[in-house]
Every structure is written in structure tokens, then in C-alpha cells.
Amino acid sequence: MMGWNRNIYRSLIIISFVGAIILILFGISQTLSYLTTGADRSSMLHLALHKEQVYLPKLKWKDTINPGRPIEKQTLQDIEQDYLNAWYIRNAAYQTNKQEGIEDYYTKSARKHIVTSLVSNKEKDIAIHSTTTTHNVALDFYSADGQLAVITDTGVKEYQRVYRDHELLLETELQSDYQVMLMLEDGFWRIRHMVKEKNYSSDPVMQTNNSIKVIGEKIFVEDKEYQIKGINYYPQKTPWDMFGDDYDINVIGADFDVIKNAGLNTIRIFIPYEVFGKAKVKTEKLEKLKEVLDKAEAKNLKVIVTLFDFYGDYSVLDWTLTHRHAEQIVSTFTHHKAILAWDIKNEPNLDFDSRGKENVLAWLKEMTRQIKQFDPNHLITIGWSDTASASLLQNEVDIISFHYYLDINTFPEAYTAMGAKIEKPMVLQEFGLSSSRGLWSPFGPSEKGQANYYKQFQEIIKQDNIHYLSWTLYDFDEVPSGVVGKLPWRKHKQKYFGFIDRDGNKKPAFEFISK
Amino acid sequence: MKLRKKYIILLLLGSLICTISIAFTTVLEKTDEVSAVLLTKERVFEAGNTIVLDFKLSIPVRTQLFIHSSFGSNVIDSDKQNTAHFVVPEFMAKKKGLVSYTLLGESGSLYEGEIRIISNTKTKVHLESYIGPPSIIAGGEDYTMQIIVPTDSYDNPLPDSTAVLIRHQFLDIEKESILQSKDMIGWVNIFSYDQSGRILLFSKVGGTVSKEFSVEVYPSLPENFEIRSNRKHAYADGNQITEFITSIIKDEYGNIVSDGSLVKFIIKDAKGLLLHTQGSTVNGQAVGKILHPDHKDTWQIKAYVPGMAESNTLTIAYTQVLDDFEVKFDNDNREITIGPLVSFMEQLTSDGTIVKIDVFKDNQKIETKIKTSSQGLVRFLLQDGFYASGNYDIQIKALGVQKEFKNIKLR
């Protein structure tokens, strides 16, 4: 017995000794690595700053002709980058009332003004969330030694949301001109003087080709009234990952045939924000999207393209990045005949609680304006998840889209109630029933029940001439966790919304897919 | 029946009261709508002056004023409760630019407007001068730029067309001109003169004078020049030094080039090999030095300021210092003593004269040995281990003289 105890004590002592040594070594190494941080001398010159672009408002150089000296392309880019950074840093500072980064982009005499202003705002607990979306810059002067530049920035669109004691006080949009003097110091173009010159508001009017338009509560395509009979589409093998590695245009083309032959004329597809490359949209993704749209055009299907899938930031400082994302996608397809509408975001009202209603609405509102600028030819809509939200921003969009998964019997009532508030075409953009009877939902609807549901819905649709897109063509094998969460019964339900089962057999509901 | 009538009357009465009260409240609500009128007459203020925005409210309510100016936005409160009398804080009132404001009541905006703050010309002017590049080249083509940023004492750029006096001095020239500022700055290009030297610059706005700035004017590109040589004697002794000296190198305006301008001397010998030496100028003259050759030779020398100017070609010849020397074979011919090597006056050559021997066996070169002289003598050993017994040919070269010994028998 004694021997056992002794051994236990021995091993305890040895283990604690080893543990202490490990801790000491870890501590020393941490101290050393802390002491060596920031020792890189090249960092003093700011030559190789790792700059991730976080602020990308639309900036156009109007002209660079100036009496001082011709400017080099590289310097022009440096000035542009640092000038925008100065705006970003200032916006961020006014949001948090902290001075981080101000000294990098404003000279000593200029930053004083910002700092006093920040202090005053902090005392009163004022936070200003702001961003700029447009800059039109002209170079007024560039000095012979390349150290000083004066620029005029016209039509700077500033969006600001003012909070006091965490309560929204004011939402404002201003458009102003600024004259700015910048100086090259320590490798940064820093703002020395900044003078706001003028206020005005004028939005460029974009010329539309009028091929798709809305008159009253009707949609017209090429001057013919267009009734949307559609379906939300993902390929069977790659739900929520349509443009990924397993993308196959032949599969998609075959599906389009199925859809067209079923008597439908419209599909709705989804563009995931991050997968498409966020602010720098990947060309290979755009090419895939173009292939899909070309295919749809060939099969005579119209497409509602839903942007910003799985996006969820909405913060004012993130605006410009999403604007560039939209610009690159939307402007590529300005003249594409297959597109019916841009759906800005799928079910954004579900983000009201987590992200703040005013954040989400302001983002959507600005985005409608941005997209109209990039593409005046196609319609704009927002895919609200319920009828109650559908009247939000109705002046900003061309058609009103809503989703309906509640009891079918209350639908006519909800539809009429919604219609009373809206004078634009209304599109039932998602509806459907999962034939999910099985282990996870023993009392769920059967395939017959699903068929009945669609039969009934088609009658309502016929009665009121409702634009519709059902959810969805296929039953899926896998549903990513990002869609409905990780809970298996939720995933299970989401797998059985299709008109065609996993083995490619048409379910009974298929009969009522379009009539 | 009566009971019912009573009820109906009661009901009617009740509904009447209801409608009246609703009507009343709506009327009240209407008058409840607050409106505001701006009392302040001025729209333009000078920076630094107190700016008061006074509004007349139809109903006293709590108000706030949102202000957006050049360096950002703020919200300020009214002086007194339930009025709309705002004093724009000093830090905003002293910055030039357009100021937009929105008067906020309890439920949104009541009044929007803007005022303009202009720079205060009554305050003392501050000057910032930027001059660059700090050095230029003489001749009137190169220039430096003088930029003056005049501000008021609140650091606001003065308006366009502010008069800026500038002056500069160079040698006995003093010039003065008046600029009109534009885009926040007044600027001028100052071109160099034909002479090199230093330009002093100065500027003045209102009563404020700048400090003195200077710009260095360096001589322009050098013109072609001459070289000459200087040596102690013409013998190819491999010991003395020959100097090459340039004339005073000047630019086209007669300015002596800057000290330290590099001059390269390229020497081509009789065989066409190139030698190279260099020197940098002091007071326009550069000196290049090189050791005499150790054999008879003729050199052609040309000097360059690379990429800019070149000299004439100079030819100099070196004569041989000796015609012959003695060679002694000892120790079964394994020890070869060369010398004494005597120079032009029969003096011993200086230590370090190079002597080279080539050893051949069956017309194949086996080895080249190089040694330097000491007290006029050089000794080579062909050692046992390296050189087996047999017949060898030996060539000896020193100071441009070559001697050959055939069939030397080593044992």
C-alpha cells in the first residue's frame, strides 16, 4: 500500500514539474515574440502595407489636366486609394467616436478639427453611421515635386444615420462638393484642407430600353402582358450551390426543358454573395451565370435573379462593398434578354431582429437605387418572406414579391389585405408544401397531400390571376446547414418540397405544377 | 318598447359624444403640428465669429439641430428648454465651408437650410510654403515650384484671388511679382539662371511674411574637355605612377561642374587591351593615376564623364628599361637565378619587379611560375618531386625581355 502511494506522489511531482517547465517556456516564448513584433524597419516607410480594400464607393476621375504637372498613373491610384481611405476612417471614427487611423490620413493641423468634433459627439453620446457612395474627382493641381495635390470632388453622396443615446434621430442623404488639399507625408497622401463647397441633389436619369415595364398592376414584356408562371430552381444534385464545382450546364439545360415542357415560363435563381467573390466578383462565376442565362434565353424562359444570398451584414460601412458586388453582376447583364427582374435579397425581413430594421431597410433602399443606375432595363423586386412586410419600400421596387408557406385557407384573405395597400404587380414568389412524411415527421403531409395542396392553390391562382413561382423543382439529398440550420427535422422537411423526387420520378403534385 | 327607445337614445348620444371627441382630437392634432421659421437673417458668416441660428417655433417643443460641415457632422441642443435657439459650437463655426443643418423636433425634421462660413480675412494670415524640388540645374530649363498656402488664423484657406507677393534673389538679381491664389494656393515656377548658385525665396500675404527658403542651382551638364599627362620619366619600369589630369570641366554656361563629378579614364594599350582608372573633380579638375607598364608600350588615353562629356585622345609611349639580364643555372640546373636586373641608369630595379618563367617538356607547357624581384634578383627552384629527371625547355620573361633556354637537363 505504501509503495502505491509513493508512486502516485512521485508521478504527481514529475507531472507538475513538467507542466511548470512547459508553462515557463511558453511564457518566455510569448514574451520574446511580443518583443519582436513591430520591429520590421520597412514598416516605418509604409511601403508594403497590407491594405485590404474595405471601402469601394464609386469613384470617377473626371479629368486630371492641371497647371502644375502631368500626373503619373501610379500616383493617381495612390491619391485615390488614400483619399477614399480618409473617408472610410472618418466614417468609422464618427460611428465609434474613436480616433483610430485618423492620424494616417489627416495631417496634424487637419486632424485637430476631426478630433474636437469627435470629442463633442462622444460627450453627447452621438453616433453617426455614414458612408459615401459616389465621388467624381477632378485634379486641380499637382505640384512639380509630387508632394502636394488639390482635388475637387463633386457630387459626393453621403448617407448618414444619426443616433443619440442609441436611438435613431435622423436619416439623411446629402450631396455635396468638396475641395481637398492632400500632401504626401510618410508615404500617405494626407488631407490638409477640406472645404465643403456646395450642396445639391440631382440623380442621373438612366435611359431604359423599355423592353420590360410595369404599367399599373401588370407586367409587360416586349409590349405583351406577361403572366409569371414559374418555379424556384436549384439543380437536384447541387441545391444552394448552383455555381460550384459540380456545376453542369447540360444538367441545367435538361431541367429547363422539363420546366418549359411543364408549361412554366419563369425561373428564380440565387447568387450567393460570398461564393461569387464579394466586392471582387469572380469572372468564372460570372461566366457560369451567363451560360445559365443564355441557356434560359434559348429555352425561352425568363429569369428572376436573386442577389446577395447568404449576405447578412447591412452595416453602413459595408455598403460600398456590396454596391461593387451588385455593379459587377448587374451591369454585365444590362442587356440580357433572359432576365425579368433583379431580386435584391431573399427574405430580408427575417434579418430585422438580428440586424436592425432600419439597417436592413436603408441598405435595401440604397441598393434599389444603385441597381437602377447599373441596369435601367430590368425590374427590381425584394423577396419578402410574408405578406405583412410586402408593402415595405413599395415605392422603390417595380414589382412586389412575397412568400407564403402558411395555411392555404387563409391565403385569399392575406392576399386581399396585402393588395389593398399595394398598387404594383404582386408576385407570389415562393410557396409550396413538403411531402415530408417520414421518420422525422410522422404526421407530415404525404405526396398526395402535396398534390392536393397544389391543386387547391392553382385554383386560387387562376381565380385571381396571380403571378406565382413555386418552391421547388426537386427533392434534395442534402440541405446545407446555412439554409435552415442544423436541426435534422428542419433539414428533413426542406428536402421534400420538390415536384420530382430524388430518383427523378414525377411526384403526384407535378400534375398541378402549372395548372 | 320604451326601454328599447331609451337604449337607442343612449346609444345615439354615446356615439355622438364619441364622434365629437374624435373630431376634437383630430383638430387638436392638427394644431399640434409644429412648424419652425428661421429668424436669423444672415446666411454668410466669417469664420470664428459666433454663429447663432434662431428659429421661431409654433409650439414650444424640445429641438435639436443636426449640422453637417466640412469635417463631419454633429448634433447640438438648444440653449434653453423648448426653444430653438442654437449657438453653433466654436469648432464648427471656425471652419470654412458650407454648413447644412436640419432642425429636429420630437418627430422628425422641422426645417432644413444651409449657411456659408467664409475665411476670416480680418485675422492674421498664416503662410505655409512648399518649395520643391530643392535643387535644380542651371541654364533656364530646370525649375523649382514655390507654392504658398495662405490661411486665416483658423486654418481656413483664403479665398481665390488673394494677392500673394513673392520675391526671390539670385546673385545680384532680385525679382518680385504678385500672384493671385486659386484652388487654395498661390504658386509659381522659378526657372534657373545661367549661373550656378543659390536662389533665396520669400513670400508675403497681407502683413505676414514667410521665412527664407533656398534652392540650390547646380551647374548644368559638363562640356567636352582636354586631358594631359604627367609622369616622372618615360621608362616602362612598372614602378612609377603616371597621372592624367583634366582641364577645368565646365558646363555650357561656364559654370565649373560640381565637385565630385566622376571622370573615367580609359586606356588602350598597343595590343588593344583596355585599362581603366578614374578620379573625381575638385574645382572642375579630376586626376586619374595609374602605374607605369613594365614593358615597352604605347597608350592611348581618353576620359569620359559617363553619358555627358568626353575628352581628346592622348597618346604616350613608354620605353624599355633593360635589353638583357643574366640567368644562372645551379644545382643540376634545378636552381635558376635571374638577375641582377638593372634599370635605365644601371641601378637595380626596385623590389617587386615581376619575373615569369614557363617550363616546357616535349613542347608541352607544364607550369608557369611568377615571382617578384628582391634586390634585383629572383630565384626559382624546380624541385625533385615535381620535376622528374629529363630535358626541359625554359622561357623567362622580365620587363618586356624574353629569353629562352632549350634542353635544360635536370637530374
Read out DSSP for B175-196?
EEEEEE-BTTBEEEEEE--SS-
Q: Which CATH number fits domain B227-318: 2.40.50.140, 3.40.50.720, 3.40.50.300, 2.60.40.10?
A: 2.60.40.10
Instruction: Tell me the shortest Cα–Cα distance from A113 to chain B, in angstroms.
Output: 7
B183/A179 Cβ within 8 A: yes
- Measured between beta carbons, the chain B residues lying within 8 angstroms of A152 are 183
Place of cell 508521478: A11
How much is the average pLDDT of B295-317? 94
Query: What is the CATH number assigned to the segment(s) B327-410?
Result: 2.60.40
DSSP B36-86: EEE-----EEETTS--EEEEEESS----EEEEEETTEEEEEE-SSTTSEEE
Strand order in the sheet with A58-63: A58-63, A126-142, A148-164, A167-185, A188-199
Strand pairing class (B173-180; B208-209): unpaired
Backbone angles phi, psi at A502, to 5 degrees: -60, -25
The confidence score (pLDDT) of residue A96 equals 92
| CA separation for the pair A160, A168 (Å, rounded) | 11
List Cβ neighbours of B380 (8 Å cut-off, separation of 6 or more): B335, B336, B338, B357, B369, B371
What is the percent of chain B where pLDDT is above 90?
64
Residue B257's CB: how many other CB atoms inside 10 A? 27
Q: How many CB atoms lie within 10 A of CB A214?
A: 16
Question: Sign of the CA dihedral B35, B40, B41, B45?
Answer: negative
The number of CA neighbours under 13 Å toward the Cβ of A441 is 17
Distance between CA A455 and CA A511 in Å, rounded? Answer: 8
Q: What percent of chain A has pLDDT over 70?
A: 96
Q: Is A472 helix (H, G, I), strand (E, B) or coil?
A: coil
- Considering only CB atoms, B184 lies closest to which of A110, A147, A150, namely A150
Give φ, ψ of B159 to 5 degrees. -65, 165
pLDDT, one tens digit per residue, over A385-417 is 999 999 999 999 999 999 999 999 999 999 999
The yes-or-no verdict on residue B30 having pLDDT over 50 is: no
Q: Do A126 and B184 touch (CB under 8 A)?
A: no
- Tell if the pTM clears 0.90, that is, is over it: no
Give how far B230 is from chain A: nearest CA, Å: 45
Per-residue cell: A498: 420538390
The position carrying cell 436669423 is B40
* A95-122 confidence digits (pLDDT tens): 999 998 899 999 999 999 999 999 999 9
Give which of A434, A438, A437, A474 is closest to A454, Cα–Cα. A434
Query: Measured between alpha carbons, how far is B230 from B245 in angstroms, rounded to an integer?
Result: 8
Q: Kindly report the nearest CA distance between residue B69 and chain A, in angstroms.
A: 7
The H or E element spanning position B204 is: strand B197-205
Q: What is the pLDDT of residue B3?
A: 52
Catalogue the E-assigned strands of A211-297.
212-215, 218-221, 224-225, 229-232, 266-272
Cell of residue A381, nine digits: 423586386
State yes or no: pLDDT of A208 exceeds 80: no
Which residues on chain A place their C-beta less than 8 Å from a C-beta of chain B? 68, 90, 94, 109-110, 113-114, 116-118, 120-121, 124, 126, 128, 130, 140-141, 143-145, 147-148, 150, 152, 158, 160, 162, 164, 169-170, 172, 174, 176, 178-179, 181, 192-199
Question: Which residues in chain A have Cβ-Cβ distances shorter than 8 Å to B142?
Answer: none
Give the ranges where A97-124 is alpha helix by DSSP (H). 102-105, 108-123
DSSP string, B242-306: EEEEE---BBTTSPBPPTT-EEEEEEE-TTS-EEEEEEE-BTTB-EEEEEPPSS-EEEEEEEEET
d(CA B234, CA B170): 50
Question: From the CA of A319, how many Å to the nearest CA of chain B?
Answer: 19
Which of the pair, B23 or A44, is modelled with greater confidence? A44
Ranges in chain B annotated CATH 2.60.40.10: 36-118, 126-218, 227-318
pLDDT, one tens digit per residue, over A270-318 is 999 999 999 999 999 999 999 999 999 999 999 999 999 999 889 998 9
Cβ–Cβ of A174/B100 closer than 8 Å?
yes
Q: How far apart are CA A266 and CA A230, in angstroms?
A: 4
CA distance B407 to B178: 95
Query: Within 10 Å of residue A296's Cβ, how many Cβ atoms?
Result: 26
Amino acid at A111: R
Mind listing the pLDDT tens digit for each residue in B77-99? Answer: 888 887 888 999 999 999 999 99
Q: CATH number of the domain at B126-218, please?
A: 2.60.40.10
- Cell 414568389 belongs to residue: A429
Flag whether pLDDT at B31 surpasses 80: no
Tell me the three cell numbers of residue A189: 497622401
Residues 6+ apart with CB under 8 A from B291: B238, B239, B240, B241, B242
Mean pLDDT of B320-338: 89
Q: Kindly state the helix (H) or strand (E) to which residue A9 belongs, with its residue range.
A: helix A2-36
User: What would the grid cell of residue B402 be?
Assistant: 624574353
User: Which candidate, A416, A413, A378, places its Cα nearest to that of A397?
Assistant: A378
A114 interaction partners in chain B (CB closer than 8 Å): 71-72
Q: Which amino acid is at A8?
A: I
Instruction: Name the one residue in this structure whose C-alpha cell is 453542369.
Output: A248
Least confident of A433-447, B67-81, B149-163, B368-382: A433-447
Q: How confident is the model over A350-368, as a mean pLDDT?
A: 92
Could you tell me the end-to-end alpha-carbon distance of chain B, in angstroms, rounded to an integer?
Answer: 167
Residue A49 clears pLDDT 90, i.e. is over it:
no
Interacting residues of A29 by C-beta distance below 8 A, sequence separation 6+: none
**What number is the average pLDDT over the span B45-61?**
90
Please identify which residue in the block is written with the cell numbers 423636433. B105
Mean pLDDT comparison of A47-51, A489-493, B302-306, highest-scoring range: B302-306
% residues pLDDT > 90 (chain A): 73
pLDDT value at B390 more than 90: no
Per-residue confidence band for B12, with pLDDT thresholds at 50, 70 and 90:
low
CB contact under 8 A, A147 and B184: no
User: Residues near A24 by Cβ (< 8 Å), separated by ≥ 6?
Assistant: none
Taking 70 as the threshold, does the pLDDT of residue B9 lie above it?
A: no
Report which of A161, A151, A100, A150 is spatially closest to residue A127, judged by C-alpha positions.
A161
Question: What residue of B is the nearest CA neighbor of A102?
Answer: B71
**Residue B64 C-alpha, separation from nearest chain A C-alpha, in angstroms:** 9
User: Quick one: cell of B237?
Assistant: 619600369
Q: Which CATH number fits domain B36-118: 1.10.1660.10, 1.10.3370.10, 2.60.40.10, 3.40.50.12160?
A: 2.60.40.10
The whole-angstrom distance between A94's CA and the closest CA on chain B is 8
C-alpha cell at A7: 508512486
Q: How is residue A364 written as a grid cell?
A: 435595401
Asked whether the beta carbons of residue A198 and residue B98 sit closer than 8 angstroms, the reply is yes
Which residue of chain B comes nearest to A138, CA vs CA? Answer: B183
- Of residues B72, B92, B145, nearest to A94 (C-beta): B72
Nearest to B220 by CA among B281, B142, B312, B278: B142
Banded pLDDT at A484 (limits 50, 70, 90):
confident
Decide: helix, strand or coil at residue A30.
Answer: helix
Q: Which residue on chain A is closest to B156 by alpha carbon?
A: A193
Q: How far apart are CA B368 and CA B394, in angstroms?
A: 10
Give the three cell numbers for residue B132. 520643391
Of A196-205, A263-272, A293-302, A329-338, the range with the lowest mean pLDDT is: A196-205
**Dist CA B404 CA B410 (whole Å):** 16
* pLDDT band (50, 70, 90) for residue B27: very low
pLDDT grade for B4, boundaries at 50, 70 and 90: low
- Supply the mean pLDDT for chain A: 90
Question: Which tens digits make up the pLDDT trace of B210-259?
Answer: 999 999 999 999 999 999 999 999 998 888 999 999 999 999 999 999 99
Inter-chain residue contact B133 with A172, CB threshold 8 Å? no
Q: Is the pLDDT of residue B28 over 50?
A: no
Residue A450 confidence (pLDDT)? 92
Q: Give the side-chain half-sphere CA count within 13 A for B114.
A: 17
Whether B19 has a pLDDT exceeding 60, the answer reads no
User: SS3 string of A62-93?
Assistant: EECCCCCCCCCHHHHHHHHHHHHHHHHHHHHH
Query: Is the CB of residue A403 less than 8 Å from the CB of residue A384?
Result: yes
C-alpha triplet A79, A84, A90: angle, nearest 5°? 125
- pLDDT category at A362 given cuts 50, 70, 90 is very high
Distance CA B255, CA A404 (A): 90
Q: Predicted confidence band at A482 (pLDDT cuts at 50, 70, 90)?
A: confident
ipTM: 0.78
B75–A164 C-beta distance less than 8 A: yes
Please state, in angstroms and as integers, the Cα–Cα distance from residue B13 to each residue in A447, B2, B9, B21, B397, following that order.
60, 16, 6, 12, 144
pLDDT at B388: 86
Which of B91, B95, B133 is closest, CB to CB, to A144?
B133
Dihedral sign computed on CA atoms, order B301, B302, B305, B306 = negative
Q: 3-state class of A493 per DSSP?
A: helix
